[in-house]
Structure formats: structure tokens, C-alpha cells
Amino acid sequence: MTAVISRAVVVGGHDGRAEIEVEITYDNGGTATISLDEEACTASLDRAGICSIDELVGQPWSVVLPALGHDTNTPSTPDRHQGVSS
């Protein structure tokens, strides 16, 4: 089993531009939250055939990997947090 996307929302970035905040849930129940550049994420979703960020929930987190390569403010591997965040 692979980590899956459990939440995806549009948020304001530190520079005032929109970002996509994605929560990833791992098999052990741990979670990680990553922020993705809107343009890179949109291109990544287009390639995957996803039309809305709502469709990200339940998808494997690898769907957003191409966007991570374009976002210089996000680490290439999300930090894992033990336990489920609220």
C-alpha cells in the first residue's frame, strides 16, 4: 500500500500567491502536509487527468510528485508526522 492524499485545499502562500496544501496519510496512520506551487501542481494534475483538487483525495501521493520537482520552497520528501493531525 502507498501513502494517499487525505486532504487538498487552496491556501495563501507566503508570497501572497495561491498554493495547494496537500495532506498525505501513510499506512501507519502518520500524516505529512506539503504545500505545492499552484502552477506546477495544476500542470501535474492535468497530466494525471485530474480536473479538480477535490479529486486528489484518495489518490496515491505520487500524483503530485511532478509538482514537487518544480516547487523550490517544498522539500523533495515530505516530513512524516506520527499520529493523525486534526
pLDDT digits (tens, 9 = 90+) for 34-82: 999 888 888 888 888 999 989 999 999 989 888 777 544 444 445 444 4
Among 16, 10, 4, residue whose Cα is nearest residue 78 = 4
| Least confident span in 23-27, 29-33, 64-68, 70-74 | 70-74
Check residue 30 and give its pLDDT: 97
Instruction: Give the containing element (helix H, strand E) for 7.
Output: strand 4-12
Per 3-state DSSP, the chain is made up of helix, strand and coil in percentages (nearest 5) of 25, 30, 45
